């Protein structure tokens, strides 16, 4: 446990630019330049500085730096959850891309039923991030005011609107619901079950699908909504609830692949074969969907690209680059596999 410290052991506080400057026999300003903009410093001087940095174990203080430059290289990211598989790919992609661009990610996981998004964002802004990523497009007017007042780039993700706060990359939940509805409409099925998580965007997908399915008045549509997060257990439970509402279904439409996987498990536990006896469709094309048995028919959205591009848009805007499109619809695709 007795690792050696740096030779400059007398310091209780961590070494500053001034300590490095003394060690190098230079002014703090020159050291600062050597570290941040070495091109404009004589190479031999840069070398002296580096030596002094190693000697002292100097680590820059970005609090002080950010205070003067008003740039923090920090991006705040607000997502509802990360343990339901839905947002994890996006968050990881954001983090990866930001790291490449030299930014750090301040991650805030707020849950689905937060009425305090506004307060949370306000505290995040006290770190003076250079940009912020928000999930979804529904925010309080107070939040909008705060963010616009902070005057930093914002990217909203995972939804679509022509009037974002600033920039947006996402997709239309309404269109996805409609696409799913139309896929089944006219295939001759008539008994539909909807399994939905209590998440606003999931509701939109569900309701849009129902609107389409109801175009045929013959169709029967039952639905179950359970509290987020959506996991396999919830899917199994939801299907049991559905079976109490009606004893037979042709199709179960789920608002996530995890729910779909649960429905399939529960169906097979009841000797219902998927897809022979029952069709099941999910959403998101999570990493297991293609490899499940049966492979899960789903709606694919490019979760990683969304994150990567959200980070890129932010970094570009922060760095003064031109943003080609402030609103990017990354679309979706119906992926027909075995389950439906």
140 binds, among DNA, its own copies, none (CB under 5 to 8 A by kind): none
Cβ of residue 68: shortest distance to DNA, in angstroms?
Answer: 4
Q: Is the peptide bond before 294 cis (omega within 30 degrees of 0)?
A: yes
Q: Is the peptide bond before 152 cis (omega within 30 degrees of 0)?
A: no
- In angstroms, the CA 84 to CA 86 distance is 5
Cβ of residue 37: shortest distance to its own copies, in angstroms?
Answer: 17
Q: Report helix, strand or coil for 299.
A: strand
Query: Of 58 and 184, which CB lies nearer to DNA in the complex structure?
Result: 58
Among 35, 47, 50, 122, indicate the residue that binds its own copies (CB under 8 A). 122
Among 1, 4, 10, 28, indicate the residue that binds DNA (CB under 7 A). 28
Determine how many CB atoms are found less than 10 A away from the CB of residue 295: 15
89 binds its own copies (CB under 8 A): yes
Among 32, 47, 50, 57, indicate the residue that binds its own copies (CB under 8 A). 57
Cα–Cα distances (Å) from 206 to 49, 155, 268, 280, 282, in that order, read 61, 25, 24, 14, 11
What part of residues 43-62 is at the interface with DNA (CB under 7 A)?
44-45, 58, 60-61
CA quadruple 155, 160, 166, 169: dihedral sign: positive
Cα–Cα distances (Å) from 125 to 76, 131, 152, 168, 256, in that order, read 8, 9, 10, 19, 32
- In angstroms, the CA 121 to CA 169 distance is 19
Among 6, 42, 113, 227, indicate the residue that binds DNA (CB under 7 A). 42
Per CB under 7 A, residues contacting DNA are: 13-14, 16-18, 26-30, 32-33, 35-36, 40-42, 44-45, 58, 60-61, 64-65, 67-69
Per CB under 8 A, residues contacting its own copies are: 1, 3-6, 14, 57, 59-64, 66-67, 72, 74, 81-83, 85, 88-89, 91-92, 95-96, 99, 104-109, 122-128, 141, 144-146, 148-151, 163, 231-233, 236, 258, 261-262, 265, 268-269, 287-288, 290-293
């Amino acid at each position: 446990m007795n690792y050696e410290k740096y030779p400059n052991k007398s310091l209780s506080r961590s070494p500053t630019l001034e300590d490095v400057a003394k060690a190098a026999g230079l002014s703090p300003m020159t050291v600062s330049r050597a570290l941040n903009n070495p091109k404009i410093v004589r190479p031999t001087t840069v070398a002296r500085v580096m030596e002094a940095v190693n000697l002292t174990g100097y680590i820059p203080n970005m609090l002080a730096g950010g205070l003067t430059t008003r740039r923090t290289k920090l991006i705040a990211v607000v997502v509802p959850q990360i343990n339901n598989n839905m947002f994890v790919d996006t968050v990881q992609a954001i983090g990866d891309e930001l790291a490449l661009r030299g930014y750090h990610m301040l991650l805030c996981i707020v849950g689905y039923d937060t009425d305090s998004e506004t307060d949370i964002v306000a505290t995040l802004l006290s770190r003076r991030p250079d940009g912020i990523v928000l999930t979804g497009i529904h925010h309080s007017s107070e939040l909008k005011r705060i963010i616009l007042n902070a005057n930093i780039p914002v990217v909203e993700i995972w939804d679509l609107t022509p009037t974002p706060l600033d920039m947006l990359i996402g997709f239309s939940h309404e269109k996805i619901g409609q696409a799913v509805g139309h896929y089944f409409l006219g295939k001759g099925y008539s008994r539909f079950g909807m399994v939905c998580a209590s998440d606003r965007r999931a509701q939109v997908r569900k309701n849009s699908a129902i609107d389409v399915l109801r175009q045929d008045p013959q169709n029967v549509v039952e639905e179950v909504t359970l509290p987020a997060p959506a996991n396999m257990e919830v899917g199994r439970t939801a299907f049991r609830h559905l079976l109490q509402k009606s004893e037979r279904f042709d199709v179960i439409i789920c608002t996530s692949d995890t729910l779909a996987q649960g429905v399939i498990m529960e169906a097979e536990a009841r000797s219902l074969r998927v897809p022979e006896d029952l069709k099941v469709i999910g959403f998101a094309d999570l990493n297991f969907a293609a490899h499940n048995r049966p492979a899960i028919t789903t709606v694919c959205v490019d979760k990683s690209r969304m994150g990567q591009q959200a980070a890129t848009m932010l970094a570009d805007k922060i760095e003064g680059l031109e943003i080609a499109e402030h609103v990017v619809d990354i679309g979706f695709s119906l992926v027909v596999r075995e389950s439906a």
